[in-house]
Amino acid sequence: MGMSTAGSREINVTPLIDVLLVLLIIFLVMMPIMLRQETVELPRHDPSVISEAAPISIKIDADFSIKIDDGPAFVNAELAGRLRPLLHKDQAVFVDFADGVPWNEVVATVDTVRGVGNSLDRDGVHVAVRLRDE
């Protein structure tokens, strides 16, 4: 009496593929339903309201001296005092730096500008760093 090999010992994968195809179709149908749409309400542009405050440019030189709008150079400790009378609400401040200035000095200058804006209750002061392509 020998063992009969009439039945195949391989796994039948046809039902598994059928189930996977049904799940794939279900997910493809449900995906657009599950996606959430976020509506963004933009403020309307009012041409009658014009920001009169011109942007301020702060430049940090390689010797760590600072210039406001290409004015005379001064040390970093005087930045808050000199910037306070120039800063208005809804004003942009650009921080530019020369080659060789460490990044922590640039970040410290940005923090000083934000601190001056917050101390004057000027929440609309926007600070940006000008980066150069290498």
SS (H, E, C) 59-71: EECCCCCEEECCC
Query: How far apart (Å, rounded) are the C-alpha atoms in residues 126 and 113?
Result: 9
- 92-129 confidence digits (pLDDT tens): 889 999 888 898 898 899 888 888 888 877 666 788 88
| Domain coordinates in residue numbering, the chain | 56-129
- Spatial CA neighbour of 114 closest among 104, 105, 125, 103: 125
- 24-45 confidence digits (pLDDT tens): 999 999 888 777 766 767 667 6
pTM strictly above 0.85: no
Tell which CATH classification among 1.20.58, 3.40.50, 1.10.20, 3.30.420 matches the domain 56-129: 3.30.420
